């Protein structure tokens, strides 16, 4: 029996947990959603081709969790690729998305684990010393307290340099150092390029959880649920239609006809005339809605 060769971990590699640099969060940023309104318009267009009524925003169930996980992984890959090219990290592993309870003071962040070789550490130090003037400004701007903000970290760059080895192994300070290195080249390692990298990798796509309902069924405005087309009565399902009969105009006519009618007459007055068959609306109502009213 042959002896198996077991690879030993590199004893010179250190692992440090920190946050992903450059990523601005989801809320109120370019990463908040992936052309959500456009996707809804596309689905409604497809519904129109199938003669299905138009759906509203709340009737679409998108998988935001999976969207955020996919984007976070892609953003992590983007930073890893760029920082490996600079030889300041060995690898970066995505761990999780962290979202605040409220977005008053901070946005979402991405937790990562960074692997650093001794060569990586030497290069981090070199990049900082080669750009010492920018580093001084950066540290001062980031960690100087002001009204509404109390800094927990030193704003003196010299103290950072004197404790650089400790900073590299510190959860927050390593993120600060990597952020500084990324920001040295704003044209390459920025949130816009990060976003387009994510798009190119197919991670900016919102999966529609209720796709089958959206593409094949109608939506009852009364019981707020999807129903089969054969059980639909203008703007509600058969059960709700039978319960309300023609007493509620909104539940009978389709969205298009309702908009056309309410633009022409005050709704309460119109409902009265329809119930008493005092007016003819063949020029306003579509064929299906007119047939439902004639039936009653």
Cα–Cα distance, 275 to 217 (Å, whole number): 29
Q: How do the pLDDT tens digits run along the chain, 296 residues long?
A: 444 444 445 568 999 999 999 999 999 898 987 678 888 999 999 999 998 889 999 999 999 899 999 999 999 999 999 999 999 999 999 999 999 988 888 899 999 999 999 999 999 999 999 999 999 999 999 998 888 778 889 889 999 999 999 999 999 999 999 999 999 976 789 999 999 998 887 666 788 999 999 999 999 888 899 999 988 877 778 887 766 544 455 556 677 777 766 565 444 445 544 544 444 455 567 777 777 666 65
Cα–Cα distance, 97 to 108 (Å, whole number): 7
Max Cα distance, the chain (Å): 98
What is the pLDDT, as a whole number, of residue 181? 96
- In the 3-class helix/strand/coil scheme, how is the chain assigned residue by residue? CCCCCCCCCCCCCEEEEEECCCCCCCCCCCCCCCCHHHHHHHHHHHHHHCCCCCCCHHHCCECHHHHHHHHHHHHHHHHHHHHHHCCCCCEEEEEEEECCCCCCCCCCEEEEEEEECHHHHHHHHHHHHHCHHHHHHHHHHHHCCECCECCCCCCCHHHHHHCHHHHHCCHHHHHHHHHHHHHCCCCCCCHHHHHHHHHHCCCCCCCECCHHHHHHCEEECCCCEEECHHHECCCCEHHHHHHHCCCCHHHCCCHHHHHHHHHHCCHHHHHHHHHCCCCCCCCCCCHHHHHHHHHC
What is the pLDDT, as a whole number, of residue 285? 72
Strands 225-227 and 218-220: antiparallel
Residues 6 or more apart in contact with residue 63 via CB below 8 angstroms? 206, 207, 208, 209
Cα–Cα distance, 158 to 164 (Å, whole number): 10
């Amino acid at each position: 029996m042959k002896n198996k060769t077991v690879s030993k971990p590199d004893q010179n590699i250190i692992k440090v947990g920190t946050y992903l640099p450059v990523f601005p969060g989801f809320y109120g940023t370019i990463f908040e959603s992936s052309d959500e309104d456009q996707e809804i318009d596309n689905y409604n267009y497809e519904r129109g081709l199938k003669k299905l009524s138009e759906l509203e925003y709340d009737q679409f169930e998108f998988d935001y969790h999976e969207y955020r996980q996919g984007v976070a992984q892609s953003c992590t890959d983007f930073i890893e690729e760029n920082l490996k090219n600079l030889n300041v990290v060995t690898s970066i592993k995505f761990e999780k998305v962290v979202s605040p309870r409220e977005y008053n003071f901070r946005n979402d962040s991405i937790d990562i684990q960074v692997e650093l070789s001794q060569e990586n550490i030497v290069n981090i130090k070199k990049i900082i010393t080669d750009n010492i003037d920018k580093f001084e400004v950066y540290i001062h701007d980031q960690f100087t307290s002001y009204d509404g903000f109390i800094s927990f970290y030193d704003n003196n760059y010299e103290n950072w340099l004197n404790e650089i080895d400790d900073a590299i192994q510190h959860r927050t300070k390593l993120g600060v150092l990597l952020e500084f290195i990324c920001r040295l080249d704003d044209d390459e390692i920025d949130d816009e390029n990060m976003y387009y990298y994510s798009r190119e990798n197919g991670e900016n796509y919102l999966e529609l959880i209720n796709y089958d309902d959206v593409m094949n069924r109608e939506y009852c405005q009364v019981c707020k649920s999807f129903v089969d087309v054969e059980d639909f009565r203008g703007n509600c399902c058969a059960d709700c239609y039978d319960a309300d009969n023609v007493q509620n105009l909104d539940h009978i006519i389709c969205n298009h006809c309702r908009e056309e009618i309410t633009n022409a007459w005050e709704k309460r007055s119109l409902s009265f005339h329809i119930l008493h068959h005092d007016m003819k609306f063949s020029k306003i109502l579509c064929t299906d809605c007119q047939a439902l009213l004639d039936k009653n």
